[in-house]
Structure 1
Amino acid sequence: MPEHPAHIAPRGPRRIAHVLIDSPLPQLDRLFDYSLPAELVEEAVPGVRVKVPLRSAGRVIQGFVVGVGEETDDERTLSEIDTVISAAEVLPDRLYALARAVADRAAGSANDVLRLAIPRRMVRAEKAWLAREAAPTIEVDAGAASRALATLAEYPDLDETLAGAGRVALDARPGVAGSIPAWAELLAAAAVLTISRGESAVIAVPDHRDLARLEAALADIAPEGAVLRLDAELPAQQRYANYLRTLDDAPAIVIGNRSAVYAPVTRLGMLALWDDGDSLFDEPLAPYVHARDAALVRQKLEGGALVFCGHSRSADVQRLVEIGFLTEPAPARRVTPKVILGAPQDTPATGRIPSAAFRSAREVIEHGPVLVQVARPGYAPTLVCGECRAPARCQHCGGPLFAPARGATPTCAWCARDARGWQCAHCEATTVRLASSGSERTADELGRAFAGVKIIVADGAHPVETVGPEPALVIATRGAEPIAEGGYRAVLLLDGDRMLQAPDLRIGESCLRWWSNAAALAAPGAPVHLVAVTGPVARALATWSQPAYARGELVERAPLKMPPAVRIARIEGDAPQVDEALVKLGADAPRLAPDAVIGPVPAPEVSGRKRARALVRFEYGLGSVVSASLRASVVAAAVSSRARRTRGPAEPGRSRPPANTLSVRLDVADPEL
């Protein structure tokens, strides 16, 4: 408990504040009690930012007041709160409870979750919000509500299910209306009906393209002032202003990326995720909680409807369906794209496009745009030796060589040096050849085959959001496909065999998601050609049976004890710390299976210290026990490390021992030692 030796607490009951200190140290992830000076009793209310002294650090640090109360122990000495930074109550009880629950599930710190949830403070936006006269009034137009009901009518009883706080896995209808995809119209309609009941809706999508499409769908039916964006691309002032607006009593529709699942709206009526299998929902910052898992925790705490929507289905969502946690509303009329599987031995008509797919594109190109999906951007992402086919490597740094354009000098992808006078290290040959085609090389090849047709390249370096209905050949990397007004007249899915060769546990699931999202952009009846791919993934796309594929994935992973059939934690740190954590885990969770622990195995050394890494597989029912035990080990290692650093080196000139490096990550999707 923080103490201040110069301050002696007054006798009798006194007001105190429970403060969450803003610190990355795991041992400080708890509430500290501070005495409230008389002049701050009215200001230091739950939710406000404050500055407090931290004796162990010898400085003043920021934090949040989580609660207030009275201290009756006359002998207890407490430090006083130094300053109330602002009167804005930016941390409501519901958000702290969510952050605490999410952190506990992931063996992390509540502070780390709050850093994702609460944008950086902007004084001007905060002053404007504090000076507002009243929360805005949100009223849904009767016509907009009727249109929303008509959209949801394609799923019988879906509106009643959502109004009753149901949990659903929705298979979105493929198709495009104008320049808005059908999935965006569906989620926008559900959100508008939610706020018409006086409740708020939160919708999280993977990236800015999906966000723009959802925002366009909401613009037609949502009332003015109801839609709030929360994403990193907004200016800091606007993002913080939108966050403050979510704290008002008026209902709102919050849309954003993965951190939007924490938006602290009042009366949460619906929480939805679009395309939860997208890797952009993986949080790269501690405690590394996937947006899907955060949504599950929030729905348990706050209630409201929970919606996972997509053209394909992740194995994680399918597991929730299998155990009865989610229901599967079936559409009144099943709509599927016209998928054509190309035989691997089909003779190419040009480049990598088989003759059947080429003829199909040639027949429809004069009626509208044709989409060609490729695996990689650039001209030629990979070069190999022209004689022995060994990968061509830079002679300076060993990086891979690539061709930036047709006929250009090969360039290193790492150091950017031109590979003039290159010689193969294996056979001493001096020529290279193209081993793969990127979006630009494919555009070059098809531009010659489709003379006179407009060529559009859409990838990370050439972002394109929409294309018109006029004839065009659109070459796009996976995930970067623009929306074509009225849909594409044909879709060609190339490089499928190469995509499936990626060393990833979930590569089949990912490929099915990429191809399904591209196929969904086709116009009604337009052919979708999957080139040179066979097997379960191809059959699932052709029959538009993505849930069945996810079900098969679950069946295959269960006996192997691979996620999501089980949860997996990864522990890494100094070898003695990892050993101690595993011993403690065995004592705290005796119900763990005998083969639960994989490892430890050596990990790369840090500052000359031996490190280790281990995996722990455990059932979902043991989650709270495992996370609590691993979190306790992280805290113990941090305290021990701080003690070593405080003692310092015995010899002058030596640096202090490095800080604790024991880390824990739960729910590892693709385990790798």
Structure 2
Amino acid sequence: MTAGDVGGSRAIARVAVDTPLPQLDRLFDYAIPRELADQVVPGVRVKAPLRTAGRVIEGFVVEVATESDAERALSEIEQVVSAARVLPERLHRLARAVADRAAGSLSDVLRLAIPRRMVRVEKAWLAADPAAPPVPTAEARDRAARVLSAFPDLDERIAAGERLAVDAPPGVSAGLPAWTALLAAAATTTLARGASAVIAVPDHRDLDLLEQALRDLAPSDAIVRHDAQQSGPERYAGYLRTLEDAPCIVIGNRSAVYAPVPRLGLLALWDDGDSLLEEPLAPYVHARDVALVRQSADGGALLFAGHTRTSDVERLVAIGYAHDCPATRRASPRVVLGAPQDTPQTGRIPSASFRAAREALERGPVLVQVARPGYAPTLVCAECRAPARCLTCGGPLHATGRGATPVCTRCAREARGWMCRSCESTRVRLASSGSERTADELGRAFPGVRVIVADGAHPVSEVDDEPALVIATRGAEPLPAGGYAMVLLLDGDRMLQAPELRIGESCLRWWSNAAALAAPDAPVHLVGVTGPVARALATWTQPAYARTQLAERAPLRMPPAARVARVDGDAEVVEAALDRLRADVPALDDEAILGPVPLDDIADRRRSRALVRVDYAHGRDVAQSLRASVVQAAMASRSRSRRREPGSGRVRPPGNTLAVRFDLVEPDL
């Protein structure tokens, strides 16, 4: 018997099943057994049979409804996994909107938002009393107000729920970068108003710094850390805390934007141009886009902060969807544009920068930013200058040290007996300098000076104020106690040569973040770079550079001037999806679709890829059409997998016949 069989009606549960199959991305109706009538409520985990798969599958109850047709054949829910209501309606609404916008599945988004269940943690949480609302002290509120006073009406605009683009102040104070004080103050004032704040940052280093700044202002029981490096129980306990009515401050990486706090007062993103905020898993939604969807649904303020301005945020400012919030006093580093090498004695460093570094070393540490780690990341033939390639796999060769045998970066084989395929020379030449080679060269140029290497292989989190040469790759710069006495930016011309659409934006962000670590009045030397990017850094006008980038991409319909989706899969399926798209969205013109172009064949299947460039007004319709094609292709593939190939006696695997990735940051055809 099911519950509620009265007067020809009955209660049913609508369940979102946890499955990656796109054809099952919908709510399923299940009858509620009488013995589970009190336990089946919206948000709980349940187990239910799935007829198409012939097995029991987990899912979440989205809603409980009453239907009048009590005779309709429905399967019954088999088990309520837990009484914890881990999928509140606000999170389901957000996940559904994000999935629909990106032509993805609800279950894929929920896997990013809801951590794996930990039974002991959940039982302890269910048995505990609700947390009391945390309140910042009066002293903490005053300190936070003083920090926010550097930006006119910032606190009032956050309280009003505006969307804001803030250029964070550069500098280091009390061992912490200035931007951490800004975000911590904004979160603390939000908490004082009885609302929750959610702050997403790119990596664990930023997260550690932000948490340290928050510990000085907000109550410790109000801070919830959401970090992929946490253990399963820690992460699940933090998630359960965000479900409570008591406000909190959630800090974490890209998935923190999904934290289902009940009263959202502030949603902030730090450095949204960092690639770590791009989700590498389906449906590949950037944290910035999730934040925009969430703020439009849940309200609260949305804050984009950084030392640079991405063209994506600048587009929002240009159309009036977000508002610029400049500081009262403009603080910027003193940037000097240096010419390339002008004397043989100074190597890659111009003589003026060399002298400035020597003088700065008398006051404190000097930061030298380089493009790549290692000793010599690139080798070329000493005779013809052709790239040195591995004779086994064709991968590029690199040197691990002075006089070391070249090693392949792909297969890790030593290139003993190497010979150039172009001129048959047996000698190689160092074509680039990594962090270790730069440290070797500068160590000999500045004898007696301490040299510190900071890169992926040599992580260094902070340095003291004693004189030292700190050689760091971009993004790995250690935090100085009181700011660097000088910042020297090398390899800028090499960085700008990367074949990427946003390489100018990326370089400006790398250089600005490094320059922001300089002490007040300390020089910042950018070597060998001219043009708009260098001028934007020298004048500290990053938003203006973002505007020029946006204007240049508009005629090409490249992101963020337009939304771009990549469609790849079996050639005939891609063609069918594009034909359906043209029929479903007749507003698309002939130039909206690029391709398809052929890719490498897989087994007996021809693969192809296409790009779809669409205005934001038609993005929803395009996403719906492409999603329908993905579902249709998945169903057809499943049907084929059940049929045996003639004469082979085996079943053909379904394969990935069609895949869609929306809102590409870097389109690749």
Calculate the TM-score normalised by the size of structure 1. 0.97
Distance, in Å, in 1 between the alignment partners of 2:541 and 2:342 is 25
Aligned-partner SS, 1:671? coil
Is the contact between residue 642 and residue 659 of structure 1 (CA under 8 Å) also seen in structure 2? no
142-151 or 422-431: bigger deviation: 422-431
Cα displacement string for residues 348-376 of structure 1 (whole angstroms, at most 9, x for unaligned residues): 54231111111001001021110000000
Tell me what 1:423 maps to: 419
Q: Give yes or no for contact 2:164–2:324 (8 Å, CA) kept in 1.
A: yes
Map 1:454-493 to 2 at 5 A.
Answer: 454-493=450-489
Say whether 1:137 aligns with 2:136. Answer: no
Letter in structure 2 aligned against 1:209: R
SS in 1 for 2:331: coil
What amino acid sits opposite 1:63 in the alignment?
A: G
Cα drift, residue 646 of structure 1 = 2.0
CA–CA separation in structure 1 for the residues paired with 2:565 and 2:541: 31
Q: Deviations over 1:123-152 (max 9, x none)?
A: 121111111112233011000000000000
Letter in structure 2 aligned against 1:203: I
CA contact 1:645–1:658 (8 Å) conserved in 2:
yes
**Unpaired segments of 5 or more residues in structure 1?**
none
Provide the C-alpha distance between the structure 1 equivalents of 2:370 and 2:132, rounded to a whole number of angstroms: 47
Q: Tell me by how many angstroms 1:385 deviates.
A: 1.3
Contact kept? 1:140, 1:223, Cα under 8 Å: yes
How many Å apart are 1:652 and its aligned residue? 4.3
Provide closer, same or farther for how the CA distance between residues 216 and 348 of structure 1 changes in structure 2, counting only shifts above 3 A: farther
Give structure 2 stretches of 5+ with no counterpart. Answer: none
Give per-residue Cα distances to partners, 1:459-516, cap 9 Å, x unaligned. 1111111111111110000000011011000000000000000000110010000000
Specify the code of the residue in structure 1 equivalent to 2:354.
F
Counterpart of 1:366, as a letter, is E
Aligned partner (choices 561, 576, 581) of residue 557 of structure 2: 561
Matches within 5 A, 1:64-463: 64-344=60-340, 346-347=342-343, 349-463=345-459
Length, aligned pairs only: 668
Distance 1:306 1:371 in 2: 33
- 1:648/1:657 contact within 8 Å kept: no
RMSD: 1.6
Amino acid at match of 1:570: R
CA distance in 2, matches of 1:213, 1:118: 25
State the alpha-carbon separation in 2 of the partners of residues 53 and 215 from structure 1.
44
Preserved contact between residue 161 and residue 300 of structure 2 (Cα < 8 Å): yes
- 8 A contact 1:349–1:358 mirrored in 2: no
Letter in 1 for 2:571: A
Q: How far off its partner does 1:14 sit?
A: 1.8
The one-letter amino acid paired with 1:135 is: A
* 1:501 to 2:514 alignment: no
Question: The residue matched to 2:599 in structure 1 has which SS?
Answer: strand
2 CA distance for matches of 1:612 and 1:423?
A: 37
Write the distance in 1 (CA, Å) between the matches of 2:178 and 2:536: 21
Q: Counterpart of 1:539 in structure 2: which amino acid? A: R
Give the whole-Å Cα distance in 1 for the aligned partners of 2:312 and 2:496.
20
User: Aligned-pair distance for 1:10?
Assistant: 9.6
1:593 matched residue in structure 2 = 589
Q: Is 1:454–1:473's contact at 8 Å kept on the other side of the alignment?
A: yes
1:353 alignment partner, SS class: coil
> 1:45 maps to what in 2?
41
| Partners of 2:197 and 2:248 within 8 A in 1 | yes
CA offsets per residue over residues 515-562 of structure 1, 9 Å max, x none? 000000000000000001000000000000000000001111111111
Moved more, 344-353 or 20-29: 344-353
Which whole-Å CA distance do the structure 2 matches of 1:247 and 1:351 have between them? 58
* Distance in 2 of aligned mates of 1:384 and 1:655: 49
- Give the corresponding residue for 2:602: 606
> 1:618 is matched with which residue: 614, 617, 620?
614
Give the direction of change, closer, same or farther, for the CA distance of 1:657–1:237 in structure 2 (3 Å limit). Answer: closer
Moved more, 94-103 or 414-423: 414-423
Does the aligned pair in 1 maintain the 2:599–2:607 contact within 8 Å?
A: yes
Q: Deviations 1:152-172 (Å, cap 9, x if unpaired)?
A: 000010000000001100000
Check conservation: 1:29, 1:109, Cα contact below 8 A: yes
CA-to-partner distance for each residue in 1:78-109, whole Å, 9 max, x for gaps? 00001111111111100000000000000100
Partners of 1:659 and 1:555 in 2: CA distance: 41
The Cα of 1:12 is off from its aligned counterpart by 2.7
For residues 299-326 of structure 1, give each alpha carbon's deviation from its aligned partner in whole angstroms, at most 9, with x where no partner exists: 0000000000000010000000000111
1:570 correspondence with 2:566: yes
Contact 2:47 2:79 in 1 (8 A): yes
Q: In the TM superposition, what is the alpha-carbon distance from 1:387 to its structure 2 partner?
A: 1.4
Q: Offset of 1:11 from its aligned partner?
A: 8.2
CA positional deviation for 1:669: 1.9
Q: CA deviation at 1:655?
A: 3.3
**Pairing 1:669–2:665 present:** yes
Q: Is the aligned partner of 1:63 residue 2:65?
A: no
SS in structure 2 at match of 1:136: coil
The 1:69–1:302 alpha-carbon spacing in structure 2 relative to 1, beyond 3 Å, is same
